[in-house]
Structure 1
Amino acid sequence: MRKITVTAACLAFASIGPVSAADPGTKLKNAQTVDRSTLHVQVILDHLGFSPGMLDGRAGKSLTAALKGFQENRGLKVTGEIDKATLWALHPYRAWRPTRTLALTADTLAGPFTYPFPKDPQQQAKLLALGYSSPMEKLAEMFHTTPAVLVALNNPETRLEPGTMVTFPNALPLSRAYDAKLPADWRKTLNDLNVSADQPEGAKVVVDKSDEVLRVLDKDGKLVGQFQATMGSTHDPLPVGTWKIQGASYNPPFHYNPDLFWDAKDSAKAARLPPGPNGPVGVIWLDLSKPHYGIHGTPEPSTVGRAESHGCIRLSNWDAARLSLMVKPGTPAVFQE
């Protein structure tokens, strides 16, 4: 299994058009159109902590859920629609434009990248890191979007090399003044994922199976953050009850134990997988008081809220990272249906 580390020197041969997250050598076939008005609403909600999922300029259940959360927070009628009252409440934040055009740097384009990416845990365990498969996948996750959206926002001939100007959804944070007590590599991850250092303090987390969201409440019970989530499955249902967040593991390795996975092959063996954004738990693990359960990131942000998990709570890497700044050890986590 070969591992490809992409440096600035070889990035000159890549362009936005022929690069996809799944295969750096294959064209993205269905580059979508991006409705800028919808994208503008998504960007504002993302900045305010009501995650609309991918910043893609498209309506859908993730945007509907985010609108409902924002409307509840503002004391509006909860419709899940971009109605007049909601637009008026969003109006003060209109300066957060839907897109930003930025110059690529060697750091934003730096790997290591792994392609092809092995599915077998035993093969993954042999890698140094479970990194992104391509520069496009990294750039998309940095700006809370998809490679297809980057194609839609830019000239397909745009070169992926330092100094090139590229248009992105405006996920840039309001602050990068991260707590100096946090590990340096974690502060870099927060910076790379454009997670703002300024976050409200959460007193309780509520995970609701009925609407597939994780809600963060403050000490007064007010909703101050909401994230689309994947939670449980038929084989591994959501563990209903009240638990506690015990702590965070940043950029964690993953200890694969086939005994804990109903779909593991009979021949599967335990393995220690290296850390990386494309690891099974993404960039962070928030440990819960229920053994073997946690709230964590994901290697596939587009599937959040649209797939099943092995019982844990899965968020996009950027939302999981943001949540970690809102909670602390001992924060209760209520799981309900």
Structure 2
Amino acid sequence: MRSIFICGLLLTASPALALTPEEIETATFDGLDLPDGQSGLSVKLQILLDRAGISPGVVDGYKGGMSESALRGFEERQGLPVDGLLDADVWTDLGGNEPTPVLMSYTVSAEDVAGLTDSIPDHVAEKAKLAELGYVRVSERLAERFHMDEDFLKALNPGASFESGAQIWVADIGEPMAGEVTRIEIRKSERRAVAFDAQGRMVVNYPVAIGSASTPSPEGNLEVVTVAMDPTYSYLPDTNFVADGVTEALILPPGPNGPVGSVWIDLSKPTYGLHGTDTPASLFQAVSHGCVRFTNWDVKELAHLVKPGTAVDFLE
């Protein structure tokens, strides 16, 4: 049990019940809406959407806006009525009635536990002193690899040590999407990035964070200039914004916990790009400093589908 304060009142809340692998694998659509809160059905739905190239963001099993927006994207691609609600047609097209498992057993390797960063400081000047802004926990690394919320990964594996040789359950997310993207729509009102091939077919569809009113994302039609994997980050307070009161320019090291995550897709408007994030769970509620922010795994997948000259259209 834990105690929390709300509006000056002390309330006692029961801890969330952990879902078991069996509850997730046996979950099926019964014709009703997704249950509120966390459920095995939502876990299964999120993994099936991810496999289809329609990203739900983090797999956490919670009904919410990111999964609803992914459902809308899948319905659009399939030519179904777009309402963001799970129904029999969506469930069938996703393969929900197939016996294929959505979880798999994974053995933590020596490579998984090696090369962690001790800690990530909050202050931008202290971050610049590090050699890498890497993962600080094995569970964090594996959660990103399997597109999962880290807390959900831990809850799915109660008591797991995450040491080399440990057996854990993870989302079976399938293989990355393949093909060539020729145009990307950044749909600001939907907070989604939707990518199409030369025939106008939707290839992938991702949740994103966009700029705020004070630091808006671009408008109009841009294009991809280049793609940088594991980029450093140029902190330029005179050009972009001031953080932590630091007014001198800095170069921050690469790493998934850096300001632009694991990938930078440079756009034809200077200083703007498509990039990763160090906080994937908060992506759909967050705003950026004008760039378009993805989960690290989604933008990494996108980076292998685009090339210089790929159109990037910002739509209101």
When normalised by structure 1's length, the TM-score is 0.80
Maintained 8 Å contact 2:125/2:246? no
1:267 Cα deviation (Å)? Answer: 4.2
Please, which of 268, 283, 288 is the counterpart of residue 304 of structure 1? 283
1:95 Cα deviation (Å)? Answer: 4.8
Whole-Å Cα distance in 2 between the matches of residues 282 and 30 of structure 1?
A: 32
Residue identity over aligned pairs, in percent, reads 35
Higher RCO, 1 or 2 (CA under 8 Å, sep at least 6)? Answer: 1
My pick for the range that moved more, 88-97 or 200-209, is 88-97
Partner of 1:129: 132
Maintained 8 Å contact 1:245/1:286? yes
Letter in 1 for 2:73: G
Whole-Å Cα distance in 1 between the matches of residues 211 and 148 of structure 2?
A: 24
Partner of 2:160: 158
Whole-Å Cα distance in 2 between the matches of residues 276 and 262 of structure 1?
A: 21
My pick for the range that moved more, 255-264 or 286-295, is 255-264
CA distances 1:218-271 after superposition (whole Å, capped 9, x unpaired):
212222210000011121112111000011011011111112343435543211
2:285 paired with 1:330: no
2:66 paired with 1:87: no
Describe how 1:74-223 pairs up with structure 2 within 5 A.
74-91=78-95, 94-115=98-119, 117-155=120-158, 157-171=159-173, 173-174=174-175, 196=176, 198-223=177-202
Whole-Å Cα distance in 2 between the matches of residues 316 and 85 of structure 1?
A: 28
1:32 Cα deviation (Å)? Answer: 5.9
- Structure 1: any 5+ residue segments left out of the alignment? 1-28, 175-195
1:326 Cα deviation (Å)? Answer: 1.4
1:145 aligned counterpart, secondary structure: coil
Whole-Å Cα distance in 2 between the matches of residues 87 and 293 of structure 1?
A: 38
CA distances 1:85-116 after superposition (whole Å, capped 9, x unpaired):
1112122783542211111111122222231x
CA distances 1:123-156 after superposition (whole Å, capped 9, x unpaired):
111111001121121121111112211222112x
Whole-Å Cα distance in 2 between the matches of residues 92 and 266 of structure 1?
A: 51
1:320 aligned counterpart, secondary structure: helix
Deviation above 4 Å: which 4+ runs of structure 1?
Answer: 29-32
1:71 Cα deviation (Å)? Answer: 1.0
Distance 1:267 1:319, change over 3 A: closer
CA distances 1:157-190 after superposition (whole Å, capped 9, x unpaired):
222222111111222x33xxxxxxxxxxxxxxxx
Whole-Å Cα distance in 2 between the matches of residues 85 and 128 of structure 1?
A: 50
Report the number of matched residues.
284
- Structure 2: any 5+ residue segments left out of the alignment? 1-13, 20-38
Please, which of 181, 202, 207 is the counterpart of residue 228 of structure 1? 207
2:95 aligned counterpart, secondary structure: helix
Q: CA RMSD in A?
A: 1.8
2:214 aligned counterpart, secondary structure: coil
When normalised by structure 2's length, the TM-score is 0.85
2:284 aligned counterpart, secondary structure: coil
Whole-Å Cα distance in 2 between the matches of residues 300 and 269 of structure 1?
A: 25
